[in-house]
Amino acid sequence: MLILARFLIGFVAVVTMVGSNVSDWNRTHVFSELWSPHARMHGVWLVFLLTLLSILSLWLVSARKAQPDRSLIACLIQGVLWVSFFPALLVPGATTHDPSRALFPIFGIELNVYGAAANIIVLAAALVMIRRSRSSIAPPSPQS
């Protein structure tokens, strides 16, 4: 069960890292003429933050020692990254897509929202698996 949890967390970390780099290093985001230099700095900062935290998460889930604790930390890191997607939508005028590259909505909801929700669901499942694996590990017996 822990191996599957580690795989799921790693999968979300790779999706986070690759997705942010593919989506943001282009003329509609980081290189957009519509973005101020300060907004560009924030965009690049976010991409590097997502990339570095995803690399850290991959390192944590691939570690052989201190499991399941390291996988729990990786799961929480990725969870924070994806849960923070939703409050950003509360900013007036914010959208989940660039107007020139809108993804097709499903039931009126943009595809990006489904992706973020799916990552959170996958991470929640991994968290349950980690908790179960922790409870199956017997505590060390006290030595006399």
Q: What is the pLDDT of residues 41-80, one digit of tens each?
A: 999 999 999 999 999 999 999 999 999 999 999 999 999 9
pLDDT tens, 92-142?
Answer: 988 887 776 667 778 878 888 999 999 999 999 999 999 998 887 656 666
Q: Where are any strands of DSSP class E within 22-97?
A: none
Instruction: From residue 47, give the alpha-carbon distance in Å to each of 42, 62, 104.
Output: 9, 22, 24
